[in-house]
Amino acid sequence: MIGILAKSLGSGSESLLSCSKFHFEEKVLEKVVRLEHKLEVYAEKIKLWEESISTSLNKVTKEKIQTETFVDLMRDAHLQDQTRFNDSLVDVKKQTETFVDSMRDAHIKDQTRFNDFLVEVKKQTETFVDSMRNAHLQDQTRFNDSFLGAVDRFKLQSENVTEFYERQMISLLDTYSSKVQELSEAERKRDSTTKLSLRQEQNRFNKSFDKIVDNFQVRFNKSLQEIALKQQKVALTACATYGTVSGGTVVQFPNIKTNIGITDLSAYKSTGKFVCTVAGLYHISAVIMSNTNDGYFHIEKNNAIMITTFYGKVDNYQTRTRVFVTMLDVGDEITVRTANSQYIYQYSCFTIVKLN
């Protein structure tokens, strides 16, 4: 700076040889003052720039702190939601295990009662058959005794008559020979008629007894079939796959978790329609998890709405459950149908159990 000033003064001295020394110093001082003023202006601008940069840095730091706070809040909220979901899943698992255990115990009890009843029916049947056999043997014995008695009486009467006619025929042999032949022929016919009548009675009795046994066997078999149908177990639990389901569409649950007594699983997995094959009282439930606002679904029986569930406003996701009990006949259909388009998670499941 001093060198520049010296050069400036040197050049100025050459052009100002005619000026006085005082005037020269005044000009130099004026230039120095203007230079200092410019330096002060530049320093003030630099200070303003530093303050502006410091303010911007403070804003950035504040925004960073707010962002980190928001991220922490979101992480805590996610952890809380995950914890609630895990707790809910554990509760559902415990309830499912409790329900399965109760159904298994009920099945064992029903099977035990059915076995006891079957043993009792078998004993009663054997007792009835033995009593019928004994009665038949007694009737046969009485019939044989009666038949032998009748034969003996007939023989005795025949001998008495023969002796009587023999004494008469000794003296009247020539006269009544034809009468003797007629009497022998009549005796032979009477014996044949008696035996034929006895055989007919025996055949009628045997037919009647066989008919009674056949009718009893038919009724017994029918009762066993009815009891077996009542004791037959039917249970199904199946879950969905995640994705969007259009409105008015039957929800499919292809992931089979439990299957008891369902023979045509492929049809159910492809259509989502449960078709009853064993009539009885059924417990039906549907659990649907969705993130769609104002969504709702129906559980239908033969395309008629039985029960409806509404989600309402959904912040993240919602789980809704509907349960009811109904009588089903063979061929009745149960379906879960969406009322509007909605996104369904894979945790959505359908359960149906035959109670009686």
What pLDDT, in 10s, does the model give residues 19-30?
A: 577 787 888 888
287: DSSP letter: E
235-244 average pLDDT score = 94
Whether 97 maps to a domain, the answer reads no
Q: pLDDT tier at 89 (50, 70, 90 boundaries)?
A: confident
Residue 328 has pLDDT above 60, yes or no: yes
The residues near 105 (Cβ < 8 Å, ≥ 6 apart) are none
Residue 148 has pLDDT above 70, yes or no: no
Whether residues 178 and 213 share a domain: the answer is yes
Whether residues 227 and 238 share a domain: the answer is no
How far, in Å, CA of 151 to CA of 198, rounded? Answer: 11
Q: What is the sign, positive or negative, of the torsion defined by CA atoms of 59, 64, 65, 67?
A: positive
Whether residues 66 and 127 share a domain: the answer is no
Whether 90 maps to a domain, the answer reads no
Whether residues 256 and 346 share a domain: the answer is yes
pLDDT digits (tens, 9 = 90+) for 244-260: 999 999 999 999 999 99
Whether 174 maps to a domain, the answer reads yes
| Bridge partners for 307 per DSSP | 299
Whether 103 maps to a domain, the answer reads no
Rounded alpha-carbon distances, angstroms, from residue 109 to 113, 193, 342: 6, 63, 43
Of 231, 252, 269, the last residue of a domain is 231
Q: Kindly report the CATH number assigned to the domain that includes residue 238.
A: 2.60.120.40
Whether residues 291 and 341 share a domain: the answer is yes
Q: What is the sign, positive or negative, of the torsion defined by CA atoms of 134, 138, 143, 144?
A: positive
The alpha carbon of 125 is separated from its chain's Cα centroid by a whole number of angstroms, namely 38
Whether residues 200 and 255 share a domain: the answer is no
Tally of structural domains, the chain: 3
Nearest to 335 by CA among 285, 300, 310, 305: 300
pLDDT given at position 5: 46
Q: Evaluate whether 111 touches 231 at the Cβ level (below 8 Å).
A: yes
Structure tokens at 262: 């369902």
Q: pLDDT tier at 1 (50, 70, 90 boundaries)?
A: very low
Whether residues 307 and 343 share a domain: the answer is yes
Q: pLDDT tier at 323 (50, 70, 90 boundaries)?
A: very high
The torsion defined by the Cα of 101, 106, 112 and 113, in degrees rounded to 10, comes to 170
Indicate the SS3 state at residue 282: strand
Structure tokens at 338: 């969406």
Structure tokens at 118: 């079957």
Rounded alpha-carbon distances, angstroms, from residue 213 to 129, 140, 164, 207, 264: 8, 17, 50, 10, 39
pLDDT digits (tens, 9 = 90+) for 132-146: 677 667 766 776 676
Whether residues 196 and 272 share a domain: the answer is no
Of 212, 231, 250, the last residue of a domain is 231
Whether residues 246 and 216 share a domain: the answer is no
186-199 average pLDDT score = 72
pLDDT given at position 300: 96
Whether 178 maps to a domain, the answer reads yes
Lowest mean pLDDT among 66-70, 161-165, 325-329: 161-165
Residue 311 has pLDDT above 90, yes or no: no
Whether residues 187 and 239 share a domain: the answer is no
- Higher local confidence (pLDDT), 15 or 292: 292
Domain containing 346 equals 233-354
78-107 average pLDDT score = 82
Whether residues 220 and 132 share a domain: the answer is yes
Q: pLDDT tier at 86 (50, 70, 90 boundaries)?
A: confident
Whether residues 224 and 247 share a domain: the answer is no
Instruction: Please give the helix or strand (H or E) that residue 99 lies within, else none.
Output: helix 21-172
Of 231, 249, 281, the last residue of a domain is 231
Q: pLDDT tier at 199 (50, 70, 90 boundaries)?
A: confident
- Higher local confidence (pLDDT), 340 or 124: 340
